[in-house]
A and B are shown apart, each in its own frame.
Chain A
């Protein structure tokens, strides 16, 4: 790879900093000889799903610009809607947790509810309707456990309902909601989120109203635990590394990145096996004799994207939702542009 090509396509990880950070491949930049072409993009672009389960997925986003990949990340974090408890009506709370803190804790509980089935609540003071609100009830009272053993000391034996978990939230369907959703479609994602600890005599009687919202309003509305990407690492050995040095080199990278194999003459030789899962810790630079034999780089347009869903929607759906949000923004922007040019 020649220098120009490298500076276009790789970030180089030097000892004291990253080279080629600033993008130059925007139209008009010196690295960009030709305008953006759709066909070329189509040829380069691909998505490969590497790992997928109900809450988490990893996929490769290849052939896009940082701005695009970042836009997905940003939209996922803050502009894909989800449902969260927004209002708590406290009829009684004699537990130790203060009303505001309790409300805050409840708000952070991830809810299993498809936000696509709901609408935003336009007026926050308006009465809840079946289109925009899910209602829950939390009514619990801690009591002495009358059947406990006399010498019992453990709270679990002594009291009843002393730990309040998310499973104690009871969905109260509004209007026709009971017909639309099955009971297992609505509720907290996890049953065992500890909300409060109580002692005999403590009591909570709450009505919780969950609405649809955006992560930029409050982090509780963010549908992801995190969405993030990293660039594909690329490691090349510029010199032969043999013997003890090879083993040392292997230890400088994440397991499975460097392979040490016999070169046939009884000497061990290092070889790059798979750079993908390297943590890019750059620990080679600790050894003066090794640091010149490796070149670490990251591929500029190969994004290893990770989405960790909070649980309401599967991660792939979230990505598509993000795509829709972005598309909507683009069309809106285009419309605005067109309108402007039309006006002129």
Chain B
């Protein structure tokens, strides 16, 4: 510690110069270079990887240790003890006992799980023998890509290429059954913290959601009729608080009151509660327990254990373990828990007095993010407990039996339970934790591989637990405390608006830090244990209560020193950098947090009005002598979490630093945006919703997905033939490597109106540009089939092409098949042609006595789609069930056509309205004619000034031969850009003299023109166009089917029908609703009014007055359905002409 202060002093003296003090602080140049070095250390999805690493390396051991013993009820000598657990390297089992190390890409292609064995060392008894066994596999753990156990970590670009992996792929997801799945970050209210809030009735309540490894419970302190009660779901009624205190052994009223506070006001408010206890005649702990025992909620299922206990014992047990479960109670010493509860009451009383003390639920300091690691650990613990329980039942069952071989528990350990449990949870996203009665859907999602950015964007997505359908504004709106932690732009529109968020660029999510050393440090700095102190001392005016992760650690008189020492130790690297400490003066508390899931972000430390990071540090960084860790270790930069950030004074720029006030300096302002919003050039010039729209659209843009895109066989993959890096870049683009995996092209845009086909944001494209490859894209789809083996020893087979007997050539459907019966690569497939000529045995279930030649039925895999595709490649492999797996990759190349959707990076989307020949396009003095024409009406209402600047900067960049920067809150300045344009003989406003391509005369207006980065979005007409004259009908109603995929009809809906009714077009109605839909001829008997069949009325037994009419089939169906429920509809017919 001495060393630490010395260093600090030395630096101060070096700087301390009376004259210098007045000078403005020179901004450190290239301070932004800290950001790439941060990302180099942390990576873009480090949160996921860190959290998973923590789970696999630390948490899993803790879980196994907590459940280390399996005992049996029947044999006291039997035990099974886990002595060690670890996760191996990812591999696959290929047949019996052949195990092969695998790579993620192999798993993707072969529909396998990328998982590693979970290996334990055990010690157990076999008979009377003690056996130690090492390396027993108990299950398989899906491995997160780029985590510590992944084969990809630490590999060079070349090695990654060998493994068919893209070096820019962020990892952080799982490969389960060949599918890439992400465990989304889940946002939750933080556990074990008091939250004071308004309840529904207008009162104040204090709520704590306690959570420990095996219990989860919620405790409320409420105020009702001037008295205070505790609410908990194990009790039927609200419990008078004083009785609870008495039940915890705090029998003296004075003791209770002193704990809560002896201020006049507190006394006044608390007196009625004391009185109530008195009225109930409760004076001793026993009486209180009895009173509470009567209020216990009746359990629905009696288990064997609970029967033995009396209600009083049960209450005591509950108070100790379930109520406020996170506050430890050792041998029924309730002192700490009572102090905690007293503080809850105190908070409620204070909040009743001063409404400012009511907490904000949406405040981000009260939130914790749950990541893959913590979710998996919940799941694993549950599965492991079940695994052990099952072992126990097996032991209970088998030990009494006398067998030749002694009972060996290890032989009964089945791998598949834990393996399937984890894999199933990840592949479905259903997180069912039995012990918490937790059931959550949609925890995982398929990683969207539409574009590189969509994959990255998914990794930073934060999902909140709030219900989407509820119309609440609080949790959806942007909280000031989200500054720098969550991207203010990137959120979807519509129902999930504000509930789904994205992390900002530099956000880090903490993993748990061990509490032990912190506790020791705190006690050394003068924190006193509460259990030794009385209520009066705890609530003294100068006394600050110290909390560690929501638990009372003690009290402290000199909180300033405590906070200072903690921060110093943190900066010196003596305690973890992710421990946060801050005083809360309204509560008179100091909160220390070391739990996982807090959001934090690095800041430059400012001391004596000077940032500690100097130019020389940055120079060293550039030279490679320093990395980000060094900045942390030297105490120049530190991580602040939301709560501590709230307690700091952070300057945005150097000139905003105030002496003796500012504590920190922002590293770079653009990092407050996320990955997706970072693509937008000049976002600070745009209207904010436009940036939000771009965040959504960037994920639909096609381009490149990764360097390994050609090796992938995905269900759907869009590629651009000639993707380009944007002319106007941003720092974020470089940091995320978007310029290496781009999704879009720089189009020369002329902002003018043309032809009228450009209204409503439609775009005009130059045909020559399209001819030369602009907007050309590739669409890949796959087609899969497996060849199964059945129980009766029959199996699927593939036959070669069927040859026409006359022509001796394969029939048309099999035209593209190779001799092996699988379509050949390079062939063009048309609608309904066969890709794999597979056939299946007709009988597969029953087992014949002797093997007979099975009969086969054709089940070809055929191509569907009006537009033909080419076969890019065919993969033949095997999957886990050891059946053949055949995957075909189909490809289409598409050139832009009218109706295809394009978008710039400013939330300005539009469809192609017209494709114009080059000679009809306007051209300027230099002979340049634009690739695209955009209507100027797109600007005034959208206010996307950023796009105007992008055009200008792009144009100047073209002339200079360099990329301009449109980084948020910075970037190339318009003035400089204009000056560059002038230098190259262009108009300073970016407007050029254009000639009409049609008349050849000059245009009256000067045209604003230059390159703008345009994205081609995945919505293309070819996938949407649809028409039907006749086609398939639904079986039941005989009405046309619905939807494009079923070649369905276009519905004339209710509103359209109303229009026709209003217009009086009755014949048209009949035609639309019946004739063209489900007209049906029925015979009706005029006597009984029932339906007759084939001219014969079955009810009247006559054909005398049967007539034929046309009615909708659905109507006939209705009649029959009514009849089936004993309602008889009768038709009365009159002649149309009468």
Contacts A78-B918, A98-B893, A279-B925; A219 near B767 (Cβ below 8 A): yes
Q: Decide: B986 and A21 in contact? CB cutoff 8 A.
A: no
CA distance A286 to B982 in the complex (A): 11
Given contacts A101-B893, A228-B923, A286-B988, contact A74 B993 (CB under 8 A): no
B residues near A, CB below 8 A? 710, 721, 767-768, 771-773, 776, 778, 826, 870, 872, 891, 893, 917-919, 923, 925-927, 929, 982, 985-988, 993, 995, 997-1006
Asked if A47 is an interface residue, CB under 8 A from chain B, the answer is no
Q: List 26 A-B contacts (CB under 8 A).
A: A11-B1002, A13-B993, A18-B993, A18-B1003, A18-B1004, A21-B1002, A67-B999, A69-B1000, A70-B998, A71-B1000, A73-B919, A90-B826, A98-B870, A101-B776, A101-B893, A104-B893, A218-B771, A222-B768, A222-B918, A226-B929, A228-B926, A228-B929, A230-B925, A281-B982, A283-B982, A298-B1002
Q: A279–B710 contact, CB under 8 A?
A: no
Q: Known: A279-B986, A281-B985. Contact between A66 and B893, CB under 8 A? A: no
A72 CB to closest chain B CB, in angstroms? 9
Given the complex of chains A and B, what is the CA–CA distance between A21 and B919 in angstroms?
20
Interface presence of A100 (CB below 8 A): yes
Q: B985 is contacted by which of A108, A227, A254 (Cβ under 8 Å)?
A: A254
Q: How far apart are the CA atoms of A11 and B993 in the complex, in Å? A: 11
Report Cα–Cα, A306/B1002, bound state, in Å: 17
Contacts of A66 in B (CB 8 A): 999-1001
Interface flag for A17 (CB, 8 Å)? yes
Q: How far is the CB of A30 from chain B (nearest CB, A)?
A: 17
Assess the A18–B1006 pair: CB atoms within 8 A.
yes
The residues of A that contact B999 with a CB separation of less than 8 Å are 23, 66-67, 70
Q: Does A282 contact B (CB under 8 A)?
A: yes
Across the interface, do A21 and B1004 meet the contact criterion of CB distance under 8 Å? yes
For the complex formed, measure the closest distance between the CB of A339 and the CB atoms of chain B, giving whole angstroms: 28
Q: What's the Cα separation between A220 and B776 when bound, in Å?
A: 16
CA–CA, A39 and B772, complex, Å: 45
Pair B923/A231 contact, Cβ less than 8 Å: no
CB atoms of A70 and B1000 under 8 A apart? yes
Interface residue from A17, A100, A280 paired with B925 (Cβ < 8 Å): A280
The reply to whether B985 and A93 contact each other, CB–CB distance below 8 Å, is no
A283 with B919, Cβ < 8 A, contacts A101-B893, A104-B773 known: no
| Cα A231 to Cα B870 with chains together (Å) | 50
Contact flags A19-57 to B (C-beta < 8 A → 1, else 0): 001110000000000000000000000000000000000
Q: How far is the CA of A70 from the CA of B919 in the complex (A)?
A: 9
- Closest B residue to A253 by beta carbon equals B985
Distance, CA A305 to CA B1010, complexed state (A)? 23
Is there contact, CB below 8 Å, between B771 and A74?
no
Chain B residue numbers with a CB within 8 Å of A227 are 927
Q: Which 3 A-B pairs have the closest CB atoms?
A: A70-B1000, A228-B927, A219-B771
Do B721 and A281 touch (CB < 8 A)? no
* Chain A hits for B926, CB < 8 A: 228
Interface residue? A106 (CB, 8 A) = no
The reply to whether the CB of A216 lies closer than 8 angstroms to some CB of chain B is yes
Which residue on chain B has the smallest CB distance to residue A303?
B1000
Distance in angstroms between the alpha carbons of A254 and B986 in the assembled complex? 9
**A220 CA / B926 CA spacing, docked (Å):** 21
Instruction: Select from chain A the residue with minimum beta-carbon distance to B773.
Output: A104
Instruction: Report whether B1002 and A98 are in contact in the complex, using a CB–CB cutoff of 8 Å.
Output: no
A74–B1002 touching, CB < 8 Å: no
B767 contacts which chain A residues (CB < 8 A)?
Answer: 219
Binding site for B on A (CB under 8 A): 11, 13, 16-18, 21-23, 66-67, 69-71, 73-74, 77-78, 90, 93, 96, 98-101, 104, 108, 215-216, 218-220, 222, 226-231, 254, 279-283, 286, 298, 306, 308
The contact of A17 among B929, B986, B1005, by CB within 8 Å, is B1005
Complex partner residue of A21 from B771, B772, B929, B1001, CB under 8 angstroms: B1001
A308 to B771, CA, bound (A): 19
Chain A positions within 8 Å of B870 at CB level: 98-100
- Bound CA–CA A273/B870 (angstroms): 62
Expressed in whole angstroms, the minimum distance between the Cβ of B971 and any Cβ of chain A is 23
Interchain CB contact under 8 A, B776 and A104: yes
Instruction: Add 4 more A-B contacts to A21-B1004, A23-B1001 (CB < 8 A).
Output: A17-B1005, A77-B919, A101-B778, A228-B926
Contacts of A222 in B (CB 8 A): 768, 918
| B998 surroundings in chain A (CB, below 8 A) | 70
Interface of A is mostly: mixed
In the complex formed, the residue of B with least CB distance to A107 is: B771
Distance (Å) between the CB of B956 and the closest chain A CB? 13
Q: Are A74 and B768 in contact (CB under 8 A)?
A: no
| Docked-complex contact A280 and B993, CB < 8 angstroms | yes
Asked if B1002 and A93 make an inter-chain contact with CB atoms under 8 angstroms apart, the answer reads no
A298 to B333, CA, bound (A): 98
Given A77-B918, A282-B987, A18 contacting B1002 (CB threshold 8 A): yes
Residues of A close to B988: CB separation below 8 A: 281, 283, 286
- Give A24 Cβ to nearest chain B Cβ, in Å: 11
**Are B919 and A17 in contact, CB atoms less than 8 angstroms apart?**
no
B927–A219 contact, CB under 8 A? no
Minimal Cβ-Cβ distance residue in A for B993 = A280
Q: How far is the CA of A23 from the CA of B925 in the complex (A)?
A: 19
Distance in Å from the Cβ of A296 to the closest Cβ of chain B? 10
Question: Which B residues lie within 8 Å of A22 (CB)?
Answer: 1001
Give the complex CA separation of A235 and B754 in angstroms.
30
Shortest B830–chain A CB gap in Å is 16
The listed residue (A74, A98, A108) touching B872 by CB distance below 8 A is A98
Scoring B767, B772, B1002, B1003 by chain A CB atoms within 10 A of each residue's CB, the highest score goes to B1002
Nearest CB on A from B750, distance (A):
15
Q: How far is the CA of A65 from the CA of B1033 in the complex (A)?
A: 63
- Closest Cβ neighbor of A304 among chain B residues: B925
Whole-angstrom distance between the alpha carbons of A228 and B919 in the complex? Answer: 10
**Distance (Å) between the CB of A283 and the closest chain B CB?**
5
Residues from chain A with a CB closer than 8 A to the CB of B1000 are 66-67, 69-71, 73
Minimum CB–CB distance from B774 to chain A (whole Å) comes to: 10
Q: Give the residues in chain B near A286, CB-CB below 8 Å.
A: 988
Inter-chain contact A78/B917, CB cutoff 8 Å: yes
Cα(A269)–Cα(B891), bound, Å: 68
Residue of A nearest to B769 (CB): A219
Please measure, in the bound complex, the distance between the C-alpha atom of A286 and the C-alpha atom of B998, giving whole angstroms: 32
Q: How far is the CA of A67 from the CA of B998 in the complex (A)?
A: 9
CB distance from A45 to the nearest CB of B (A): 17
Q: Chain B nearest CB: distance from A312 CB in Å?
A: 17
Q: Say yes or no: A99 contacts B826, CB within 8 Å.
A: yes
Given A216-B917, A306-B927 in contact, is the A18-B1005 Cβ separation under 8 Å? yes
Complex Cα distance, B316 from A248, in Å, reads: 93
A231 to B721, CA, bound (A): 38
A64 to B307, CA, bound (A): 110
When the two chains form their complex, are residues A98 and B778 in contact, meaning their CB atoms are under 8 A apart? yes
B residues near A16, Cβ cutoff 8 Å: 1006
Instruction: Contacts A78-B918, A219-B771 given; indicate if A281 touches B1004 (C-beta within 8 A).
Output: no
Complex CA gap A39/B768 in Å reads: 40
Whole-angstrom CA separation of A23 from B776 in the bound complex: 39
Give the docked Cα–Cα distance between A286 and B778 (Å). 47
B-chain residues with CB within 8 Å of residue A17 when the two chains form the complex: 1004-1006
| CB-CB nearest in chain A for B994 | A18
**B927 closest partner in A (C-beta):** A228
Determine if A100 and B893 form an interchain contact, defined as CB atoms under 8 angstroms apart. Answer: yes
A101 to B772: give the CA distance in the assembly, Å. Answer: 11
Are B918's CB and A219's CB within 8 A? yes
Residues of B within 8 A of A308 (CB): 927
CA distance A17 to B1003 in the complex (A): 9
Q: Of residues A67, A96, A219, which shows the largest number of chain B Cβ atoms within 10 Å of its Cβ?
A: A219
For the complex, what is the distance from the CA of A90 to the CA of B827, rounded to whole Å?
A: 11
A21–B1003 touching, CB < 8 Å: yes
CB distance A220 to B1001 under 8 Å?
Answer: no
In the assembled complex, the CB of B776 is this many whole angstroms from the nearest CB of chain A, namely: 7
With CB as the reference atom, state the residue of chain B lying closest to A15. Answer: B1006
* In-complex Cβ contact of A98 among B891, B982, B1006 (8 A): B891
Q: In the complex, A1→B993 CA distance in Å?
A: 24
Closest A residue to B925 by beta carbon equals A230
